[in-house]
Structure 1
């Protein structure tokens, strides 16, 4: 691969610098618009060899593991630590604007709701046993190499401080040298830790892990492939005053701060609704807040999540009626006749979006809808269906809870106009 000097033209949706060539665009990680750099090119990928003229927006990264010169390798957790705050925020907002425009939508998009260091309460680590020790951290981009982290400005201090406990448990449970994953959620009562990708641990190793969990304290639950090994205390999340025991591998927003912003926006938009459909409800992130003023019907396919919601509702007084239904909304979306009794709806689907349900909502008479998404591309597609069905987009709010990554969430608030 011969070296060549190029000038970066813009940032791509994944945070890479882009330069146009006769062979098509070339994507260069850690490069910013306006920078002259020397790269080695392989097809559509470029590796920065030298930074000849840095952009004014370039800043020193916050973490020693970031970038091509990162300690122990390039951590794949962040992609944009080298970009100053204002252009970083503008970039994330533009990702949402571009996704809407790709679907022919021109509507108001708010400034980015920002994230701060130290807020991440949920993370999935990569780990591997090697040479008698455990390497734990995050994988390099498009690589199986694990960057062992010695700092992480993104993680909550409570979560980061427990990394020695994760290494201890990994050393007990892991056999062989294959990589595995450790999912961690920081809850009110301690860490909820889930191992996956391991060979099934023996009874002896399970007992040793149990003793270790009890000894180190600060751990609420330890699971292997969603099977509980030990649970000294149930993990608890406080959702607007309702205590919820999330199931193993249950979905939680990455930061509590973003969750509260999103829930507040949804609740304000649907404040006049008497009966709300919460679609893809999980264990009640929105339902439990909306139930302060509205009757709520929560629809979700994950049975453990619905069970957790039902228990939480039974143990909380003062809420309006909350009913639930287990249903695959991709295969069996709620139809217009089933939506007839609702004057409000919120949907928060996985990254694939909610095409099937959006099609049925577009044919319904639901007065107000809040669409929550972790994927602007599928959000734009789903909003196009709703707009074509007679809804107006009042606001779109981009929300950052994956600091210094290219990921951005968004909420769209819609009202039926015809």
Structure 2
């Protein structure tokens, strides 16, 4: 039976009238559901395009390459809009920033030994099948050029039956690789791995929780500072996406002299903000704060940055602590920051800029701020996870 696709879910799946979910379809298309659960496109819509990557049908790394850039941008904006309107909130959308192809500077890949060598790639969607991706259109060229090193590491780290996880980051000093494996790190293995890092010109190589060798500083540029985040630590996915987020935060922070950066990480926002204001960075990870502090101390032209290790979910900053600042910046995980938002609402703060990777929790937290007397001046949507359903949002709030 031929039916029309009604809409895309938040996961980018096409939903049919009976609730059936299908991959790689678009709203308005007439499709026939096959026995294996796939869709045969009977009548495509004009938004359908030829996927730019030849691995699209097999690889689980991207899910929206069959849609035009214009459609994806409009759909991602509509996801944010629906999250806001579901709570009767305003949606002052301003602009959309989309990262270009081959700009993803950090990836979590899998490696598996083969009879002759090893394979490194992404898993097929909802599957254990590993897909080789020699022509990936997502990752930076430096990461693609590093696949021989990742394959060599897989030969060492993986058994015949087990896979290994390889988190690779493109840094200013070269590739930073974290290998997660069941194999124990021995003295002889350290020597072998150090030689491999030298042969393949890796900046840093870590084996589970141990850094084996650091040949070059695996640094990122955060404003005028250079920081080397811990192996496998959180990092914005693309330099272009990070630049868009930072530019929005700096614009919303203009004129502030004392800023508190909540969920600061290694200083993505703290260090650029320190070019115009003193900053107090709060983060649960001591290691991330130490990284931030080192970056600040070795940079020039920055104002004071102080740090505080604190679990903001269990122990958010209280109103009297927040009242010391002109502005709060917060970039919480996907769960949002409801506990911290509650104390922000009770404080005397007049300005807040919130970054979020989840439109649903962004809308929830924005609703609390608006109910407490804040206006939402604008929203920027940042699509740095190109061809995926993931969305990031920046909102500028001022109290009436």
Same fold (TM over 0.5): yes
Measured in 2, the distance between the counterparts of 1:65 and 1:205 equals 34
Compute the RMSD of aligned alpha carbons. 1.4
Measured in 1, the distance between the counterparts of 2:236 and 2:172 equals 14
Please state how far the C-alpha of 1:62 moved relative to its aligned partner. Answer: 0.5
Other-structure match for 1:259: 242
Matches within 5 A, 1:41-190: 46-48=37-39, 50-67=40-57, 74-190=58-174
Paired residues of 1:193 and 1:223 also in contact (CA < 8 A)? yes
1:221 to 204, 210, 235: 204
Deviations 1:247-292 (A, max 9, x none): 1222110001111111111111111111000000011110101111
1:30 to 7, 12, 24: 24
Other-structure match for 1:191: 175
Give the gaps of 5 or more residues in structure 2.
Answer: none
Other-structure match for 1:295: 278
Measured in 1, the distance between the counterparts of 2:291 and 2:271 equals 12
Please state how far the C-alpha of 1:150 moved relative to its aligned partner. Answer: 1.6
Other-structure match for 2:221: 238
Please state how far the C-alpha of 1:145 moved relative to its aligned partner. Answer: 1.2
Deviations 1:106-135 (A, max 9, x none): 221123211211111111112222435322
Other-structure match for 1:39: 33
Other-structure match for 1:368: 351
Is 1:8 aligned with 2:5?
Answer: yes
Deviations 1:226-245 (A, max 9, x none): 31011112211111121112
Paired residues of 2:103 and 2:239 also in contact (CA < 8 A)? yes
Measured in 2, the distance between the counterparts of 1:107 and 1:92 equals 13
Measured in 2, the distance between the counterparts of 1:106 and 1:357 equals 22
Measured in 2, the distance between the counterparts of 1:251 and 1:259 equals 12
Give the gaps of 5 or more residues in structure 1.
Answer: 68-73
SS of 2:348 mapped into structure 1: coil
Please state how far the C-alpha of 1:78 moved relative to its aligned partner. Answer: 0.6
TM-score by length of 1: 0.93
Moved over 4 A (4+): none
Paired residues of 1:92 and 1:112 also in contact (CA < 8 A)? no
Matches within 5 A, 1:202-351: 202-217=186-201, 219-351=202-334
Measured in 2, the distance between the counterparts of 1:110 and 1:125 equals 35
Paired residues of 1:90 and 1:112 also in contact (CA < 8 A)? no
SS of 1:110 mapped into structure 2: strand
**Count of residues paired in the alignment:** 400
